[in-house]
Amino acid sequence: MQLPGRHKSAIDAPVESLEGWDGSIAYLDRDGVLNVGREDYVKSVDEVVMLPGAGHAVAALREAGFRIVIVTNQSPVNRGVFSHGDLELMNQAVLDGLLEENADAHVDVVLYSPYAPWEQSPVRKPGAGMLQVGRQLLSELELEVKHHSAQLGYRHHEGRSFMAGDRDADMGAAYQHGVRGFRVNPSIGLVGILERALNDDDEGDALEI
């Protein structure tokens, strides 16, 4: 199985533990959720435009006990549109933008899938691979990495976890991983579904088949 990329870290680098955490994770798409998306992809730092309220929304999720994992499909990397280094700069711009709006908008892990659709990678949404890797990292479980593959075949109680995204692929990943899925209006972003996500009785949006 191919592995996702991880922002500024080895894929199996440990994540800071959080005392009293109940296991709830907010899995967030990037473009259309935290920053403005583009039909021709966000391709440079100059094209990173933050969605108003995204930083405050991330901070509110953390205050409510969620840990934050960004999971983003970035097939332009393997298609030669931009490099891993270019993507690192863009991801950092998003993280900086969140913190500029709210100093408590800390993101725990940023994972990305560089694979194109025809590569049929399980770590490209709607596959659940990135979510599974994020869960293992935050659960202080050893992520077994051998020969560029990862052992992901396990289940873990997800608490109030959810996936927020603006595309069918995001909802598919939520379904495959067994968590709530919230479809985001890309012109509004995360702030538009924040109240729903914080409502434990909201089961999310149904997967359209």
Instruction: Parse the chain into domains and list their residue ranges.
Output: 5-10+21-197
Q: According to the model, what pLDDT value does residue 157 have?
A: 61
- DSSP E strand boundaries for 37-176: 67-73, 109-113, 145-146, 149-150, 162-165
Which of 12, 31, 202, 205 is catalytic? The answer is: 31
Residue 202 pLDDT > 80, yes or no?
Answer: yes
CB atoms within 10 A of CB 195: 11
Can you give the pTM of this predicted structure? Answer: 0.92
CA 66, 9, 60: angle at the middle one, nearest 5?
20
CATH superfamily membership of 5-10+21-197? HAD superfamily/HAD-like (3.40.50.1000)
User: Is 31 an active-site residue?
Assistant: yes
- Helix and strand counts by DSSP (H, E) for the chain: 5, 8
Q: According to the model, what pLDDT value does residue 38 have?
A: 96
The first and second tokens of residue 12, run together, are 């199996």
Which of 12, 22, 29, 108 is catalytic? The answer is: 29
The per-residue pLDDT for range 131-190, each reduced to its tens digit, is 999 999 998 665 655 444 444 444 456 779 999 999 999 999 999 999 999 999 999 999
